Amino acid sequence: MGQTYTTTALILKRRDHNEHDRLFCLYTKDFGKIDVLAKGTKKISSKLNSYLEPFYLIKVMIAKGKVFDKLANCNLIEGYQNLRHDLLGFALINYLAEITDGLIIGQTQNNNKFDLLLKTLDILEQEIGKKEKEKLLLLANLYSLKLLSLLGYQPEIKRCLICHKGILLTKNIFDFSHGGVICEDCKKVCLIEDYVLVSDQVIKLLQLSQEKDLDFFINLGIDQDTIKQFNQVVYKLLLVNLEKPIKSFDFIKKL
């Protein structure tokens, strides 16, 4: 047997490969995103199958291969059963997977991003069924914003992107083509109309998202309009960064 390595991983997606095998896209704690081949997992009798559902958190042993690394063994750490058995919960899992898969390109060695995702999943696993949809989506979107920041795509929220003055006045806009807030005075020189008006509360929430941990937001009292507008801003920001539609978001909206 060749060289092997172990790591902790979340299963992002899977696809069929050959007659009996599947390829799994894993987001790993130590190596970022990798594809591994799981031999025989299209067969119902495969022992590995019970551990290989999308978004299971697993401990894996992987054998180095010439074309694909191969899954040698795995153990389930967490199945997020509360989320999995709730329609909205399952949609949120898929939303997180789609964003993570879309924003993280290839291998990276920054554990912060992986830990942030686990933290988000733990919170949603606890809160599903206790909070309403837009609030749960807000928690998922706080993850998206924090991930964007860790990847170096942090939106400018504290200062106007054009005049660089601190954001004070009302009637600011969030400009998606520039990736941040523009003050009322500078709004007039914005030629591309790819922006939305953002309330002071949304700006405050965007600022807090850069300063506070996710726990801070779980029971924070925020009015419905602010939550909805915040979710819209983050969704559009994600679209700009992903450069493709987010299928799972459309599904969540319909629930």
Cα-to-chain-centroid distance, residue 143:
6
Question: 57 - beta bridge partners?
Answer: 10, 78
CB of 99 to Zn ion, least distance (A): 30
Of 178 and 204, the one with the shorter C-beta distance to Zn ion is 178
CB of 180 to Zn ion, least distance (A): 11
3-state secondary structure (DSSP) of residue 9: strand
Per-residue x/- mask for Zn ion, residues 1 to 30, rule CB under 5 A?
------------------------------
List 9, 99, 173, 183, residue binding Zn ion (CB under 5 A): 183
List 88, 186, 198, 237, residue binding Zn ion (CB under 5 A): 186
Q: Applying CB under 5 A, does 76 fall inside the site for Zn ion?
A: no
Q: Is the dihedral of CA 234, 238, 244, 250 positive or negative?
A: negative
Of 52 and 186, the one with the shorter C-beta distance to Zn ion is 186
User: Would you list the DSSP string of 30-82?
Assistant: TTEEEEEEETTTTSTT-GGGGG-STT-EEEEEEE--SSSEEEEEEEEEE--HH
Determine the size of the site formed for Zn ion (CB under 5 A). 5
Q: Applying CB under 5 A, does 37 fall inside the site for Zn ion?
A: no
Q: Is the dihedral of CA 219, 222, 224, 225 positive or negative?
A: negative
Q: Applying CB under 5 A, does 181 fall inside the site for Zn ion?
A: no
Task: Report which DSSP code applies to 245.
Answer: -
Q: Applying CB under 5 A, does 123 fall inside the site for Zn ion?
A: no
Of 96-104, 147-155, 186-194, 200-208: span binding Zn ion (CB under 5 A): 186-194
Of 163 and 240, the one with the shorter C-beta distance to Zn ion is 163
Q: Applying CB under 5 A, does 145 fall inside the site for Zn ion?
A: no
Of 64 and 164, the one with the shorter C-beta distance to Zn ion is 164
Q: Is the dihedral of CA 63, 69, 72, 78 positive or negative?
A: positive
Question: 15 - beta bridge partners?
Answer: 23
28 token code pair: 């790993």
Per-residue x/- mask for Zn ion, residues 150 to 179, rule CB under 5 A?
----------x-xx----------------
Q: Applying CB under 5 A, does 198 fall inside the site for Zn ion?
A: no
CB neighbours of residue 111 within 10 Å: 13
Binding site for Zn ion (CB under 5 A): 160, 162-163, 183, 186
